[in-house]
Chains A and B, each alone.
Chain A
Amino acid sequence: MAVTVYISCDSGALALGAERIAQVVSREAQQRGIDIRLIRNGSRGLFWLEPLVEVLTELGRVAYGSVQVHDVSGLFDSGFLSGSPHPLFLGLTEELPFFKKQQRLTFARIGLTDPVSLEDYLAHDGYRGLNNALTISGADIVRQVTDSGLRGRGGAAFPTGIKWNTVLNAEADQKYIICNADEGDSGTFSDRMVMEGDPFVLIEGMTIAGIAVGATQGYIYLRVEYPHAHKALNTAIAKAYAAGYLGQNIQGSGKTFELEVRLGAGAYVCGEETSLMESLEGKRGLVRFKPPLPAISGLFGKPTIVNNVISLASVPIILDKGGEFYRDFGMGRSRGTLPIQLAGNIKCPGLVELAFGLTLRELLYDFGGGSASGRPIKAVQVGGPLGAYLPESQFDTPLDYEAFAAIWAVVGHGGIVVFDDTVDMAEMARYSMEFCAIESCGKCTPCRIGSTRGMEVLDDIINGRELNKNIPLLRDLCDTLLNGSLCALGGMTPYPVLSALNHFPLDFGLTDQAEAA
């Protein structure tokens, strides 16, 4: 019988050479006359071990990593197909501490299955949530989601059930479900991993959302920089249609849900839900003011749910196991699990799905293994380019929306970017302003002009010019951005800028924090 070998098709693995490894492994097996069954799975999220080669043995899946081309022939020689020892041998994948300590709910299947195999999906508890949903009322579906305590994983952490309920109660001839897959935050990749590694779970989540609120059309607004996700989604959507999981009369229920992937055009601001809808409507990606809320008047003026990939991908397990099951994970008002993405200067970068509540320090050291450079970690930025920089003194903060808010930081989409002590935080602050300037849609004045002025003021500060004038000016500008901006892009740029200034005054040419104030 052929031995089953898993080599990831995830972009992260591909970037590290997984495609080449897959080719070489196939060729080597052929040359040696060995019959193998090569499955291109999603990634387990242990990126420092990619390309990771897993072999299905009697004991379970054992891993070898990270495998380079020149290792392949040696792996065959040492009998890796039967799980034999080799310098790259890691043991059972699921016994690796990084993996074993996780609580994988949303990512339950990712890395385990062939992403575009509907059979594989069904064999691993797929579509159980939808099947349940089809037997209860829309209001009951929404109640399950509300009970689960799920909050928007895109970053805003708005209770998903409340948003759904608004759309459920809105009267309209047409409603829409939009999946915001414009994952543009630096250091984040969990959306991508879901779409590449388990596209059906997103499709199922959207279908449940559609059935819950009476929306018959869904769109996945996908960033153009994710070609592999695009392909995986389209393949999975086609299979879901073919098997009656999308389209009219889903699984004989009489319910309709159509789904389509639309590509963005490379603007970060189109990850903001209102400009996303403008873009979907074929217009410039300009932020709309709220109210009206998208849930009342969204895409083409119709009631619309806009949810992030992770939020929607968490719905199937909630409907499968019940809102209470999901709610039992987490702390305080942050319920369930969060797929955290460790990136930057970190020894073990990867995806860690865990219930809310563990501390940054646990993540950075117990999971991440400290900095990649071996130097002390000076700062981490949590929640993307608009998230605050946290100094070592705040590493004991638990991952919890409210705990982060209390220290003027954000959990956001769960991306953590690590910097060692060689980083210049004034340069990072300048970068934040530059990012805002490059990505500003140009609608509101604070963001349109303020971000460029912010870069200039920081240039003056970095060059030591008139700090007594420029530091207060920077603070005033941040106030203007914070209070005056139309959306979070301008409104949150002060988070990284001011946190850098407040926590690292020396990098700004100041002698202490008092001077920075």
Chain B
Amino acid sequence: MSMNKEQDFGTPARTASTLVNLEIDGFQVTAPAGTSVMRAAASIGIDIPKLCATDSVEPFGSCRLCVVQIEGARGMPASCITPVAEGMKVVTQNKKLADVRRGIMELYISDHPLDCLTCSANGDCELQDMAGAVGLREVRYNPQGENHLNAVKDESNPYFSFDPSKCIVCSRCVRACEETQGTFALTIDGRGFDSKVSPGQNEAFMDSECVSCGACVQACPTATLMEKSVIEHGQPEHAVVTTCAYCGVGCSFRAEMKGDQVIRMVPHKDGKANHGHSCVKGRFAFGYATHKDRITQPMIRKSIKDPWQEVSWEEAISYAASELKRIQANYGIGAIGGITSSRCTNEETYLVQKLVRAGFGNNNVDTCARVCHSPTGYGLKQTFGESSGTQNFDSVMKADVIMVIGANPTDGHPVFGSLMKKRLRQGAKLVVIDPRGIDLVKTPHVKADYHLKLRPGTNVALINAIAHVVVTENLVDQDFVQERCEKAAFEKWTTFIADPRHAPEVTEAVTGVPAADVRAAARLYATGANGAIYYGLGVTEHSQGSTTVIGIANLAMATGNLGREGVGVNPLRGQNNVQGSCDMGSFPHEFPGYRHVSDTETRTLFENDWNVILESEPGLRIPNMFDAASDGTFKGLYVEGEDIAQSDPDIQHVHHALREMECVIVQDLFLNETAKFAHVFLPGSSFLEKNGTFTNAERRISPVRKVMKPLGGYEDWEITQLLSNAMGYPMNYSHPSEIMAEIARLTPSFASVSYEKIDRLGSVQWPCNDETPDGTPTMHEQSFMRPGGKGLFMLTEYVATQERTTRMFPLILTTGRILSQYNVGAQTRRTENVAWHSEDRLEIHPHDAEDRGIVNDDWVGIKSRSGETVLRALISERVQPGVVYTTFHFPESGANVITTDNSDWATNCPEYKVTAVQVAKVSQSSEWQQKYEAFSQQQLELLEQGSHHA
């Protein structure tokens, strides 16, 4: 539970359109049918005592404190489980009710420690509140009676403690684990007086299936499940609503504070993306923000062989600007550029691209979305007219058939994954298209109807086969297509896709997916009422990433699964602000709002506003920058919040490029891998230290609010502004709200966005303009965003990747991520989350392992044509024979030493998901790893020397 209590209505809201009138304590109330008497009472400010009821989970009726009397009804029904009825007359307080409630509280307290004053929940305990509310004055039971006061604490979870001696067995935690999170890790063990909360079968929390999402801690009304930070520091005293800086779900949190110290992050009930739910990262893994590795002093050095030198902000900025100017003077205007990140706020990203375009005088700006969702931007823009997902998250609750393609929501987007699982438990059908057995394929009370286990790299062939079935079996939604899509293109596409070469029976040889399963899955999606597609990087990070995105768009249009709730095409964005960084014009070819730099009208608009002449040719993409650096034509780079030296493919090539540059400016929290190649280090600020906005995967613009001062002295947007001014292009913002005002002024889809509106509504989904002043939950409802308003079918010929297995490299390596770690791990590796995942492992099928004499935990070398690295093996049937899998959260793993320079034909998004490799048992780390470790060690020493010097 949380401080500054958000109102708890006791039971979830009901949405029935029928309204019921009743009388509670003499007051008239109107509530939707199905609403509990408890909630109806709460809605008019009558709080009925309760302990087992909380509005995040369905009522349970166990504590019995909420009994009421109802005219004409026998006995004392519990108000949490009694639905309102027309004309009902309810009494919530009288002597008889008071006696029963006091009797129940007396029983509770007869088995509860009387240590309220020293209890961690003191001041935030519902049991304490209820004892007060019912007026309990004494406990008459024999103190020698049976009790649980000596039950042993479970401290195994790094973030929260479980003290069963304080448990009142209300089952809120068990129900939260089931209903909210969907993990079913908790149960009640034993019965009667012996009933107790048990993770798994009497396991410790860490040994159980618990994923540490915090839902149980949130639901607990006592100190039984309590954040260790609260036990250590005491109750917080104020709270600030802000937005999580981890994945693209963009959960709303209340940062609960003591002064400028975050005591805990509590998921915000009113958060429209998360509705009060959280995951182990957002809920608990915020400690990195104050980690000792934070660098808070600007530093410079001439060469990467030199020790770092701590300097003043003025000196660092002026040195950086002078270097950039020197490089431009020597090598040309285009010899420098900037890279922004999906972890930055919208306002920061906007400023970086503005700095590059207006201050550097070129378009050499790119973002890490290049390496994740650039094909989404391209594919959806081409077909639908807008580079974004079509739905809000809540839409999934109206989906009947859910198709998950190359995404792993329970790990990558856990809070949305939980929502999806809730819908699946309600009976929605599920098709999973993934080479690997992700959790969704089979998890408690959820089982995929079809798991199409395709070979990595054959997405287009499979999507085409599905579309082929739709077209040839007459499952096309003709009305939708005729009315909403461009006719000629559709007809051309129909002819193309109906060709027998796309038949599942033919593609089976390529994809490895049985034709019968493809046909069945296609029929299910096309005919199962609301069909919704969710996809991730398993779609985009391929040589044909954009083609697959287009294929998905075609499929959704052909089946009419667009333009209403419950359907749509939904890219799950990896990082917090992938959508936003793309919206903000951080690609070299586009201004904010996805408008091409060559478009004179748009360019003129910006030139007039920015008071500068702008370049009309697109600038360099990230891989082009590396190539140009290696060629000696690109010498200076400003990188904000991105660790290209770990996250980009073919990392040896990247490292080489970085070494060739003369001025690499890194603005980050830590001395990340890229900073080891840098000449200027500008201390960045964490999401807790600045104001701004993030835009999540559902286009929701949510506020990021400063809860503490920036440790380095400046918010990131201020640093960019300093650099711009030093470069000679004046910027003069006093607050990010002014940047947002500029964005709104220059970007039609943001025209009505303002901080005032975000504060008022909590968040808003773009497009947000005069037509849709409160934002747009569902896109393309009446027409598509393309000129003319029609959807465009495009041809999607399958072209096999050049990355093929050979005798030398007989296995396919694919990559992914895990729940507890985030991206390159710079944040999560600096938290207790390492308790769940302390190293990247190579998943290999038992057959492939057997062939190579590999057993669990063996060190294995993974070699591709790009390089070699060494990881420990994890034998797993999640992967199919011929496919190996790893995560990329640790720099020393060198996953990107192996990945190649292959990339998407349209956007250069790297082909991270397909690399031909050989795997063999080894006894030592790879040559690259040894060299890199030495380099890394040397860089840390140079850092150490620098701070001593200062």
Contact = CB atoms under 8 A, between A and B. Distances in A.
Interface of A: 267, 269, 284-286, 289, 291, 437-453, 456-457, 460, 469, 473, 476-477, 479-480, 483-486
Contact of B193 (A269, A448, A480, A485): A448
Interface stretch (B139-147, B470-478, B934-942): B139-147
B412 to A, nearest CB: 31
Contacts of B76: 483-484
A449 B193 contact: yes
B111 interface: yes
B199 to A, nearest CB: 16
18 contacts: A291-B81, A291-B83, A442-B194, A445-B108, A445-B168, A448-B169, A448-B193, A451-B192, A453-B145, A457-B142, A479-B99, A479-B100, A479-B103, A480-B107, A483-B76, A484-B64, A484-B103, A486-B78
Nearest to B192: A440
Interface residues of B, number: 39
B221 to A, nearest CB: 13
A265 B146 CA distance: 26
Top 7 closest pairs, chain A to chain B, by CB: A480-B103, A442-B195, A440-B192, A289-B61, A449-B107, A484-B64, A289-B81
B191 A267 contact: yes
Tell which of B108, B142, B188, B190 has the most Cβ of chain A within 10 Å.
Answer: B142
Contacts of B111: 449
A437 B96 CA distance: 25
B578 to A, nearest CB: 40
Contacts of A284: 187-188, 191
B191 A453 contact: no
Contact of B96 (A446, A483, A486): A483
A445 B81 contact: no
A285 B140 CA distance: 32
Given A449-B110, A477-B103, A480-B100, A469 B192 contact: no
Contacts, number: 110
B67 interface: yes
For A284, A437, A443, A444, the residue with the greatest tally of chain B CB atoms inside 10 Å of its CB is A443
Contact of B195 (A448, A451, A473): A448
A440 B103 contact: no
Contacts of A442: 169, 188, 190-195
A451 B191 CA distance: 12
A456 B169 CA distance: 21
A437 B107 contact: no
Contacts of A449: 107-108, 110-111, 193
B62 A445 contact: yes
Residue with the greatest number of chain A CB neighbours at <10 A, chosen from B78, B82, B100, B171: B100
Contacts of B788: none
Interface string B540-557: 000000000000000000
B104 interface: yes
B145 A484 contact: no
A453 B141 CA distance: 7
B463 to A, nearest CB: 35
A293 to B, nearest CB: 12
B144 to A, nearest CB: 8
Contacts of B142: 456-457, 460
Nearest to B142: A456
A110 to B, nearest CB: 35
Interface string B160-172: 0000000011010
Contacts of B194: 442
Contacts of A446: 64, 103-104, 107
B72 interface: no
Interface in B800-815: none
B75 interface: yes
Contacts of B100: 479-480, 483-484
B797 to A, nearest CB: 45
B167 to A, nearest CB: 12
B639 interface: no
Contacts of A450: 107
Contacts of A452: 145-146, 192-193
B884 interface: no
Contact of A444 (B63, B110, B140): B63
Contacts of A476: 99, 103
Contact of B64 (A441, A445, A469): A445
A485 B62 CA distance: 8
A445 B191 contact: no
Nearest to B96: A483
Considering residues B60, B67, B76, B187, which has the most beta carbons from chain A within 10 angstroms of its beta carbon?
B60
A233 B643 CA distance: 71
Interface string B98-126: 01100110011011000000000000000
